[in-house]
Chain A
Amino acid sequence: MKVIAKAVIASVALAGVAALPAQAEGERFVLVSHAPDSDSWWNTIKNAMALAGEQVDVTVEYRNPPTGDIGDMARIIEQAAASNPDGLITTIADFDALSGPIRDAVDRGIPVIIINSGTPEQAAELGALMYVGQPEYDAGLAAGQRAKRDGVSSFLCVNHVVSNPVVGERCSGFADGLGVDMGDSMLDSGQDPAEIKNRVKAYLTANPDVDAILTLGPTSADPTIQAVEEMGIAGEIYFGTFDLGTEIVKAIKGDVIKWGIDQQPFLQAYLPVIILANYNRYGVLPGNNINSGPGFVTKDALALVEEFAGEYR
């Protein structure tokens, strides 16, 4: 019994320590993402948010559904609103499921900024202050047009988040940019690196005439880099990706990847915190939505990107 009592006290103390930031001075902002724990890309968001919080002296909290279940995410948004933060930053990964909880938060008088997933129109419809992100379809379209100029006529889109239709629009934008029908070009790769690698290999073996690969983030890009290297077609097949990360930067440098589309997640987390802080303190607000991307990162401008890849880039 003593052991149990001790353990209980220890865990109370432990939880108490972790709970401390919530009681700190200054405003408290909560960011609710749709990303499962396994998605490393969101680390940049966490870092940038912490940096902004430090600079303007506010408390920031990051929340996400561990498995990426949007139903769970809706509950977390409701919970975040119930804890009465001074501002809420979230994504619209599924408009149907999240519109209710987000609108409720807005109606309670909590300033809300939409980042990353969703459209400026959806953000406005829910009464959010603004949208900070990259219009996904347009980014895919721009990438497709660029690939077409480089002579690409067929492609494989490696999608590791089939559950998020907004991300899937990158693939359809790419197909439209190329001027081809999407058909069976989209591969549901899952989240496990070994599975992604082997599914890409299997697809490319079965469809040897595919010109180009588009990956939708580091989760699918890293194993795909390995796949093309193991198949001996690295540098030969046209390879573009969304988002950056340590492995992607290395691959751009090594001519395996032609370009990475940077949506600059840093800005998606950093700007909302700064904007919300100043909105709370002085009532000032930029008059428009902010496009954080797309920017094409090629071999030429890699120095800064390389230094901060995975941390702030």
Chain B
Amino acid sequence: MTADSPADPAASAQEEDERLKDISRLRKALIRPELGAISGAILVFVLFGIIAGDSGMFSAEGILNWSIVSAQFIVIAVGACLLMIAGEFDLSVGSMIGFSGIIIAIFSVHLGWPVWLAIILAFVMAMAIGAFNGYLVIKTKLPSFIVTLAFLFILRGLTIFLAIATTRKTIIGGVRDVAEGDWLAPLFGGKVLTGLFSWFAEQGWISTFTRGSRAGEPIVDGIPMLIVWAIALVIFAHILLTRTKFGNWIFASGGDAQSARYTGVPVDRVKILMFMFTAFCATVFATAQVMEFGSAAADRGLLKEFEAIISVVIGGALLTGGFGSVIGAALGAIIFGVVQQGLFFAGVESSLFRVFLGVILLLAVILNTYIRRMITGER
């Protein structure tokens, strides 16, 4: 369990307790699952500050570029993180992204439903499928790896079929037009703080478009809602995990499901809810993407499930469950996003791109694990 688990009865008792080992305050502050991820994040920022510092990576739009990519990873990593701590995997995240996007596009563009209703329907369907995933894992006692792998194929196939059967195309466009004036769509595809950024541009702190219909407007004109969603999900999940009884149940379900059951933790309910939360996060990703780009495609989200899992693992969670942190997963997602986009800025030869991506990610995980072991004294 984590160092900051809330229900620690000894914490209130101020007197010396022979059962408690005396730990220095500094060491206590350092024993956090996030520490390795923080070091990893500092490492990649220094690394790219050196090799890509003058490439536009740290200009306003450069920062926005890797921030959005990191935010995308964070959104799916938060769900994957809680689920992984609860001891399960979801490999259907990427397919779920494609599925939710296509559902929104089919119902709003093809069938003419109001966009807000299409979005809500996509959330309901995705979470129902997530619940079904969880139910199957619990009932069949099969590894979630296998069950959700099946859904990786089922959902991807269904997505392509539904798109072709209704519109004879695999990319459905025109969502932007029907989303015009909708009340829910801006919550996913809109931007906030636009006034602040125009003011930045007036001050000359960020550059402006030099021609075209948007001449004079700032190149970065606001913070996309996706980033707001990422931050909100991190805060929500972090509080849920570390400050509530339910958070302890999540750790217990993943640490040792059987002993958790003996102590009265509703393990099945916790796991099913976590599958639904993962599906919810995937749908947030899909909705934000569809609203921003104005189109949904049946092949969106390929391999995203692995990107989510990689982010969580970089962030220090154990693949076996029971240990991890949301902040760590978010930092892992930032590391992954910064490395991926930073390699583009650094001008790395494109065929070697994945080699560098793999090497740097491996280094981040090694560093993370090493630091965690050094500090916790775990072997």
Contacts and interface: CB of A to CB of B under 8 A. Distances in A.
B150 interface: no
Nearest to B63: A82
Interface in B48-62: 50-52, 55-57, 59, 61-62
Interface string A1-21: 100100110011011101111
Nearest to A101: B293
Contacts of A107: 209-215
Contacts of B349: 18
Contact of B52 (A11, A19, A46, A68): A19
Contact of B56 (A21, A63, A70, A83): A83
A188 B169 contact: no
Contacts of A63: 344, 350
A203 B70 CA distance: 42
B170 interface: yes
Nearest to A42: B350
Interface string B195-222: 0000000000001011111110001000
A163 B303 contact: no
B356 A18 contact: yes
B359 to A, nearest CB: 6
A4 B295 contact: no
Contacts of B348: 15, 18-19
B3 interface: no
A19 B300 contact: no
B293 A100 contact: yes
Interface string B142-181: 0000000000000000001000100001110111100000
Interface residues of A, number: 54
B363 interface: yes
A124 to B, nearest CB: 13
Contacts of B343: 15
B56 A94 contact: no
Contacts of A15: 47, 51, 343, 346, 348, 356
A11 B56 contact: no
Of the candidates A15, A68, A95, the one having the most CB atoms from chain B within 10 angstroms of its own CB is A15
Interface stretch (A71-79, A150-158, A233-241, A282-290): A71-79
A188 B110 CA distance: 22
The 8 A-B pairs with the shortest beta carbon distances in the complex, nearest first, are A22-B347, A96-B295, A107-B212, A97-B293, A96-B173, A107-B209, A163-B299, A67-B302
21 contacts: A7-B363, A8-B47, A15-B47, A20-B347, A63-B350, A66-B353, A69-B299, A71-B297, A74-B293, A76-B344, A81-B61, A83-B56, A94-B171, A94-B295, A96-B294, A97-B293, A108-B207, A108-B209, A162-B164, A163-B297, A163-B298
